[in-house]
Amino acid sequence: MGSAASAAAPPPPPPAQPHMAAPPYGAGLAGILPPKPDGEEEKKKEVEKVDYLNLPCPVPFEEIQREALMSLKPELFEGLRFDFTKGLNQKFSLSHSVFMGSLEVPSQSTETIKVPTAHYEFGANFIDPKLILVGRVMTDGRLNARVKCDLTDDLTLKINAQLTHEPHYSQGMFNFDYKGTDYRAQFQIGNNAFYGANYIQSVTPNLSIGTEIFWLGHQRKSGIGFASRYNSDKMVGTLQVASTGIVALSYVQKISDKVSLASDFMYNHMSRDCRLRGKIDSNGVVAAYLEERLNMGVNFLLSAEIDHSKKNYKFGFGMTVGE
């Protein structure tokens, strides 16, 4: 047999690799960053898109600083206070309040003049989904009344009155509040020929701006003011400017559901007065107010204020009992 040399066939070429598109993050980061999921760009744009035809309704103009006022202007008192509220049915209740302490008398001197005082207050409350009636009568002859009536789903009438036997101290105010989808408007009529109106409008989901005007006929005075409010889940900031010379700013930082930090700044261009308030304000006044819930319907109150410059020190404690 003759030997035959057979040449082996060469191996087949490797299959051609499909053409790879350039990675979305660049060639250098392709092995580091994960690929971006499909539709993420579109979802992000949908989240950031704002429907300006469906903005939320802003807070009332008169309550634009309500978070700051709750923290910086508690109901401080000096002496002893006891409040008791008894509900007679689901809509009607009676209240009793006793106060014993001191009352500050206005004085032109720098010293604070205090006069001992005590009074008893009787109140009646009627609360209905569309009608609220609140009345208070004090032993010194003062009568306070408050009415809130929903005329329609969007229009509300508010009446506040204070009657006293002292001349020129009785007051009355009528407010007509209209609530729109993304705005609020209010018209006011009061004694001493007082007329006022305000309007506030939401311009973004977090920002609202408004204006107000007023006319006091007996004193021949008028004014106009502008305000803005920015709120988010963690903070609330407000700015108010008025033709009376007042510039007011407030800021509230929400730490948790029970803790908030607040401060405000006020400047009066007419009188050149400036005051910064917080836990300790620029006038050296330290104030604290504590309300501790002891049991269902029983609250214990502690109130303190120290003014070192005027040597004015206040301390009070009280108890509120009611269903």
DSSP character for 19? P
Domain with CATH 2.40.160.10 in the chain: 61-271
Q: Which amino acid is at 42?
A: E
- In the chain, the percentage of residues whose pLDDT exceeds 90 is 45
DSSP character for 280? B
Q: Which of 108-112, 200-204, 296-300, 318-322 has the lowest mean pLDDT?
A: 108-112
Longest distance between any two alpha carbons in the chain, whole Å: 144
Strand positions, DSSP E, the chain? 79-87, 92-105, 113-128, 131-138, 143-150, 155-163, 171-179, 183-190, 194-202, 207-216, 221-231, 235-242, 246-254, 260-268, 273-277, 285-295, 298-307, 312-322
Residue 30, pLDDT > 80, answer: no
- CA gap 60, 187 in Å, rounded: 12
Residue 6, pLDDT > 50, answer: no
The pTM of this model reads 0.71
Assign domain 61-271 one CATH number from 2.40.160.10, 1.10.1200.30, 2.30.42.10, 3.40.50.300.
2.40.160.10
For 213-237, the pLDDT digits (tens) are 999 988 889 999 999 999 999 899 9
Which residues 6+ apart lie within 8 Å of 275 measured at CB? 265, 266, 281, 282, 283
**Helix (H, G, I), strand (E, B), or coil: what is residue 147?**
strand
- CA gap 246, 65 in Å, rounded: 15
